[in-house]
A and B are shown apart, each in its own frame.
Chain A
């Protein structure tokens, strides 16, 4: 116990802990929406496409997070455009944007002269290197997400459940869909630090699957998912520190084990 408390005296660990709290809340809420609407694959596409923006930012020398946001939002809109306007199958449009983003990222980083950034930390995350500026951005996003979901909870829920009925009622369904896809894009990008591009889908789906074992109400799902995400992220963080393994992978591993154990317990009892 002392060893754990001692860790909080370290600046880097305190920052990592705060990042874990913020990531759990934003991913818990947004992930519940993603899972309920069955748009996990779209979210995966957006996540991976953002890598192109990170590469572009390194090549041109601006903030990688900004590049990632740009590409995430562009790909979100691009997938919609490909599907609705260009009439390309949705799963194919997602795959196109998914791989295009990754390819661009690799090309840009390859042609960037001089120092090449550590690709691994973007692909697999490193919560221990999170900066104060990034924490502020994560805090702002978490506040926006909490505000959006508490102020418009019923509308978001009813549109997600039965879009056609909401349209018939005259709700601005498209506007809500775009707002939420932008929130998804931002959530993904600002949490890349925590578990990385390749692993972020896990924070958006595993805590939700665990929470879903215990509740069928959307509201409780939002809260419980955040709680499970927090438990998994923080435990993973400690495990990563004491076993000296990469934090992103340790977090995912903890989340999966937690899900498996609870699922088994629920099955038995």
Chain B
């Protein structure tokens, strides 16, 4: 099976400073990849490279034919903390802005219907005329998820959708992603390894390099081998730290 995205020997970073070195990764249809790693390790850099926002120093990112081209049918949910909360834009308009992505319908009424449908599904239709800055963290993530899904993407890329949200929404979000994953591939960046590990199918540990782990369980020893300084919290009814962060 041909991967949707194939990354070969990727070196990428900002200006002249390399962040990621020698990254190799394949993303297949219906993958659910959890990207973990320490802050500043390059998780967001990897996403930006895939989205074409950063030009690789060397190496290639190859897209399968049906999703290649300048405009890629990728759904993207950026980190909400970088959003301008004072910007005069309504919830409806934010979701509608997903229509600039390739793959979104071209007809005006079809786009409007789809926006309304997504807002309803996500339970935020009643606040469609509110300004984006008036929303709670969970509502905002729902709205940005609607935007990401408007173009009916083949891959959904989410950068820390679990920040600023309560536990209830977090569970709801992951259940929704699990359902979406029946149709599309998902790449999820999170610093919360404990929560995502029961949903993801595979794990990539990003800390300057990328270590791919073809399973959703990972041991502290493996993380040590990967040089990935993060904490592991076990699955189970009562979450607890089983191992401390190593130096």
Q: Does B74 lie within 8 Å of A221, measured CB to CB?
A: no
Number of A residues, CB within 8 Å of B: 24
With the chains together, A162 CA to B79 CA distance in Å? 11
| B180 CB-CB contact with A under 8 Å | no
**Contact partners of A164 in chain B: CB under 8 A:** 53, 78
Task: Pick the 7 closest A-B CB pairs, nearest first.
Answer: A216-B131, A170-B71, A158-B97, A168-B51, A169-B100, A169-B101, A170-B70
| A89 CB-CB contact with B under 8 Å | no
Q: Say how far A135's CB is from chain B's closest CB, in angstroms.
A: 31
Q: Does B89 lie within 8 Å of A157, measured CB to CB?
A: yes
Partner of B53, one of A155, A158, A160, A167: A167
Q: Mark A199-219, 1 if CB is under 8 A from B, else 0.
A: 000000000000010011110
| A223 CB-CB contact with B under 8 Å | no
Q: Does B88 lie within 8 Å of A218, measured CB to CB?
A: yes
**Contact partners of A217 in chain B: CB under 8 A:** 88-90, 93, 131
Residues of A within 8 A of B (CB): 32, 36, 38, 154-155, 157-158, 160-162, 164-171, 212, 215-218, 221
**Contact partners of A169 in chain B: CB under 8 A:** 71, 100-102
Instruction: Supply 23 A–B pairs (Cβ within 8 Å), ascending by A.
Output: A157-B89, A158-B97, A158-B100, A160-B87, A161-B93, A162-B97, A164-B53, A166-B100, A167-B53, A168-B51, A168-B101, A169-B100, A170-B71, A170-B72, A170-B102, A216-B90, A216-B130, A216-B134, A217-B88, A217-B89, A218-B89, A218-B93, A221-B88
Question: Known: A169-B100, A169-B102. Is A215-B88 also a contact (CB below 8 A)?
Answer: yes
| B8 CB-CB contact with A under 8 Å | no
| B66 CB-CB contact with A under 8 Å | no
**Contact partners of B1 in chain A: CB under 8 A:** none
